[in-house]
Structure 1
């Protein structure tokens, strides 16, 4: 447990001891108490002495108030706005993002009944200009293709990398496409040095070599790009009905077909976003929001760490509703999501490691009165 986490956790515990804790805070601690008894190996071995003291203090106080009636609803750990300042402790502890709750086994009965699924991995298919397809996750490291003098390597880091000795204006240049399935992600280094990370369910179409002062690629789904600077050859990204123009910069583009908008978020440099109706230039920390239904283009300041959390191995929710969360889960765990009955429209906050098993994600969401059933890879969500 981080020192900051422990500080905030103790704030709740102190309020509990003084009889000042809210019903939600009491229920949060009592859920902890329940987990201590139900889960073998619940405590991390690190800082065990400190955590054991916390465990005993909670258990002692709960035992003293065993008949205390608590409001009978699950603690909305994510969706209660009062908890945003406690996130460093209560939320992040329960979400096990590098802290001390690991959720090594399903906690709740309904979760234990679902078919568990592992998180996504580095997996993609490379289609060469001649139509040859290569499964990148199983390809051996080293050169995997040599077409028209353009060599394709799988480097030591597992990335796809292009190397070209020289190319003239008369040499043939084809297009390659890398596609990640649901449950996959991949990284590409283009021959100009630009690096591209593809999220699950995404694709990148690009020329095997850039020439004629043009660097244009097409992206579906979501990608993070670190574009090599070249003032004489601007870099363009086509995603849906918008085009992004850059000279050299770091940015993220989210252009999934099942999302209501295309979002372009800038971390470094400057980009220009163009559509049929409008264009705008954004600065670092800003995002454009292109509405797919009406074609409007807006920009706003955003938390860039939130927008690129996926690249850093996290699900990060900041006011997301259930269906937005489930779309991310569907892509990363390669499962189909359906809903029964009315679904809460409350907003969720917090972070979860993308290395978690699906049962661990559901164990967390169960705390918010959501329920899950599975039939093969189909997951049914209900309140």
Structure 2
């Protein structure tokens, strides 16, 4: 794959425009319009829009029968205030593309340019711009959309940039590469009382204080092996900000994390048993619910083999790196439908970390990611 100077000028401008206008999960309407406008000039054979929300799938068909190969990027940004002096910094207060999804979209835009110039010989190339990755709902919504059957892939590929990894170096391995995680919301209900007579009410204060360290202790920690687990308390609330009322309401939010989906089922069961036991012992009502549900992401050996072949051909250095990683990724949903693999592309050892307020995607990664994906597509589709 050869990107011209003009291609790079256009792709960088596209990436930076997206960077300046971040939208949160399930709100990516304008981002989707910008992607559609860029894709239109590459003349895909057909396009699905509003897929699982604001998702877009652009289809480039070959002349002969063959496999369907999907490459995925993400549309959404984060609810984080960006700290930057760059001209393309976020123009939306409290929101920022601080995970690099703007760069991932630009990489797929580069693929669209190449596929527009030269269709695959066989099969179909699908460029999937997925909504709502950051809250874990997007891939599930895309797969649940009845129209997904029209583009069901035989292989699915994705990447994520990784600060801390040497620039342009790839981490890749078979098996689990991203942990399962989910947000556990615990709501405790008692009875209010006057602050001078707390004994006439039923307060959740002692239960909240008791549960937080006990929940954390459920996590085994340690190496990222099959029995790895972690519980992180992220938020707690007791009553309302008033001095005259002993509270009746308490909440604890915690993120549960395991290497595998099977481990997550076990951790959830243990956490629920703990919460119910402690709350009911004190006579409190209790409700448990879950948000931001991410399945673990597993790289299929046959899909990894295709990426390795492409990396070798493109002379991109790679090894196992520090995989698997604790962070979650909802690309795992696609891996439940077809052999799938994600590789992790180094953004530089000293580059600001993902989700940091000063993070910005390195534009020079665009051609590297595009070359690896394009070589994978050509190897599979011709």
- TM norm structure 1: 0.24
- TM norm structure 2: 0.24
1 or 2, which has the higher strand percentage? 1
1 or 2, which has the higher helix percentage? 2
